[in-house]
Chains A and B, each alone.
Chain A
Amino acid sequence: MERELQVLWAAIVAYVLGGVLAIFGVALGRRQGRVVLGLLLAGLLLHTASLALRWQRLDHGPFITLFEILSSNVWSLMLVFLIAYWRIPKIRPSAAVVMPVMFVLMGWLMLAHPGEGHFPPTYRTPWLFIHIGMAKVFLGATLVALGIAGVVLLRRYGIAEGRFAALPDDRRLDELAYRFMALALIFDTLMLITGAIWAQDAWGRYWAWDPLETWSFVTWLLLAFAIHLRVTYRPLPVRNAWMIVAVFVLAFLTFFGVPFVSESPHKGAV
């Protein structure tokens, strides 16, 4: 276990360096996109190696303990953000919004006990990978949208306004954030469908209003509401940005908050 934790620490250091550089790059008005990209990619590769070592040692994926679930979520969120960072250079300064959120998760990960958990028999199914994979893409897309929305909000409220001046105007950012929200809606829908299929197999029912199911459904509804609201009233980008923040907060609570109060077998992050 020592080695996988050492590699994980190295990954976290690379992520933090990349994130700090991205934040200072925005604050100081310097473009350091490639260096940040390189550091985040190095972090992701090291993190992948750490997860692979653990997977090989325990003979199951990072889906059981709080430590494993935080680790795999940091990995998937970084992967989705890194793809967006690489493919859409114009939104790179949004790393200054995204990385502090990631730092919170990384700090939590460092505090979590890295002990092992029991891999339940109901997890021995391809639906585990499909359901969790969809959930991770959903949260990743919401995170990228949050980064873009954060830029819109910071500019609107005059915080670091000049630092984000090089980014596209609010309308264009709003349209881009909407695309990521649409992507999030597709993968959230897939997450609910595949979760229902898995629940039918594992527990003999596809829906039981357990806390995680209910909160996931409410998150899906809020996402659908946000998209309908945008189409109906065509609100200003700043209002759409607040809706994105609300969706992300609800999704975050569903992923990392509800499992702590849930008594049902559908545990998620615990």
Chain B
Amino acid sequence: MQQPPVIDPGLQQTLASGGSTPPVFLRGAAWLGSLKLTLALLVLLVPAIVLAYNSEAWRSWPLAVPLTGLAFNLLAALTSNPAFRRQTALIVFHLALVALLLLIAAGRMSYLKGTLELTEGAWFEGGALTSTDTARWHAGDLDQVRFTNLGFTIDYAPGIRRDATRNRVGWIDERGRMRESTIGDQHPLVVEGYRFYTSFNKGFAPTFTFTPTGGKAVLGAVHLPSYPIHEYEQTREWSLPGTRRMLWILLDFDETILDPAQPSAFRMPSDYRVIVRDGAERWELRPGAAIDLPEGRLELVGLRSWMGYNVFYDWTLPWLAATAALAVLSLGWHFAGKFRRKAWDA
């Protein structure tokens, strides 16, 4: 969309004053700002995209090289191409593209992606995530974020196809006040710039109190594998809090939670048992039942749900949206001005 390079008046003056060839820097700028180079760099971008598509490891330098080249190509065109300089909207569009690239690069250097699981009624605090991918210059305050999962409902269409997710959450805002809202599907919880999205990952959590011999009782929840994806694998090994003892936990119920034949909703089973195994020993617990272990007493409190969240942080998001809007508006402005001069049916 840039106009072909036209010799700059400065360059013309140089030629007129007797110079047989223009200064090196002007020739360099003309070459660097040429549309032929733009085309070559656009072609170079294609293999970079193929690499980026095929491997996550190839998503930085192979893309950065042609994109940086295009940015310099644009800046050089601004200095060496007066026809281009006269087209304000076109300049704004191209500069917005460069700004987008810079913002994406800044985002890539400071993002955070992660996951966490939260039992109903439990709080997320201290910034501990189940899995995390943090960029080198991430400078957010995840450890300042506090929110609690107040429970959720998920509708299912016939065929056990997941429908709307509504997750009540409470969080502490910047003034220290408790706030509540419903998140789910395309409505994340946004606190301190961190975006918490509900995920398909959720399930049942048998909840116990463990009272160590001579110690204080602690509450613990065992997050069983995601339901209904792992409907027939509702079992997990669990380390008894503060000990090395590994217990095997199984949730057993007969009723149908999600009916494939009709609309249904995720809910707790009304009648269930929790099987606890320790080596050769085996117990069947109902809520309120307890067992005595060498390290202390374990009591089944009940069954709760847990929700898996995806966490995403990228401070550039609003700037990206604004810059993208500017880019497309200026592109429209450029073409509108260009095509207004002559009727489409002329």
A interface with B by C-beta (< 8 Å): 87-90, 118, 120-122, 124-125, 127, 176, 179, 182-183, 185-186, 189-190, 193, 196-198, 200-206, 209, 211, 214, 217-218, 221, 224-225, 227-229, 231-232, 234
Contacts and interface: CB of A to CB of B under 8 A. Distances in A.
A193 B53 CA distance: 19
B262 to A, nearest CB: 14
B2 A228 contact: yes
A187 B46 CA distance: 21
Given A182-B335, A206-B317, A214 B53 contact: yes
A229 B53 contact: no
A186 B328 contact: yes
Given A89-B345, A228-B38, A197 B186 contact: no
Contacts of A214: 49, 52-53
A231 B86 CA distance: 16
A121 B49 contact: no
B186 A232 contact: no
Contact of B52 (A183, A189, A209): A209
A176 B185 contact: no
A125 B186 CA distance: 8
A201 B186 contact: yes
Contacts of B49: 214, 217-218, 221
Interface string B51-95: 011000001000000000000000000000000000000000000
A193 B42 contact: no
B185 A202 contact: yes
B320 interface: yes
Interface string B1-27: 111100000000000000000000000
Contacts of A221: 42, 45-46, 49
A167 B49 CA distance: 40
A231 B334 CA distance: 14
A231 B312 contact: no
B135 interface: no
A225 B157 contact: no
If over half of A's interface residues share one DSSP class (helix, strand or loop), that class is named, otherwise mixed; here it is helix
A122 B42 contact: no
A179 B187 CA distance: 39
Contacts of A183: 335
Given A127-B186, A228-B35, 15 more contacts: A88-B345, A90-B345, A179-B339, A186-B328, A186-B331, A186-B335, A203-B197, A204-B188, A204-B310, A206-B320, A214-B49, A214-B52, A218-B46, A225-B39, A227-B1
Given A121-B162, A124-B185, A221-B45, A228 B335 contact: no
A201 B345 contact: no
Contacts of B297: none
B260 interface: no
B72 to A, nearest CB: 16
Contacts of B59: 209
Nearest to A127: B186
A231 B3 contact: yes
For the complex of A and B, the 6 pairs showing the least CB-CB separation, nearest first, are: A201-B186, A232-B35, A204-B197, A118-B161, A121-B185, A193-B324
10 contacts: A121-B164, A121-B184, A121-B185, A122-B186, A185-B331, A196-B324, A204-B188, A227-B1, A228-B1, A234-B4
Contacts of A185: 331
Contacts of B289: none
Interface string B301-314: 00000000010100
Given A186-B332, A197-B321, A231 B344 contact: no
A205 B345 CA distance: 43
Nearest to B184: A121
Nearest to A218: B49
B163 A121 contact: yes
Contacts of B163: 121
B2 to A, nearest CB: 7
A96 B52 CA distance: 40
Contact of B328 (A88, A189, A202, A203): A189
B195 interface: yes
Contact of A87 (B4, B321, B344): B344
Contacts of A205: 113, 312
Contacts of B335: 179, 182-183, 186
B3 to A, nearest CB: 7
Given A121-B185, A124-B164, A204-B197, A224 B42 contact: yes
Contacts of A204: 188, 195, 197, 310, 312
Contact of A209 (B53, B197, B332): B53
B230 interface: no
B43 interface: yes
Contacts of B39: 225, 228-229, 232
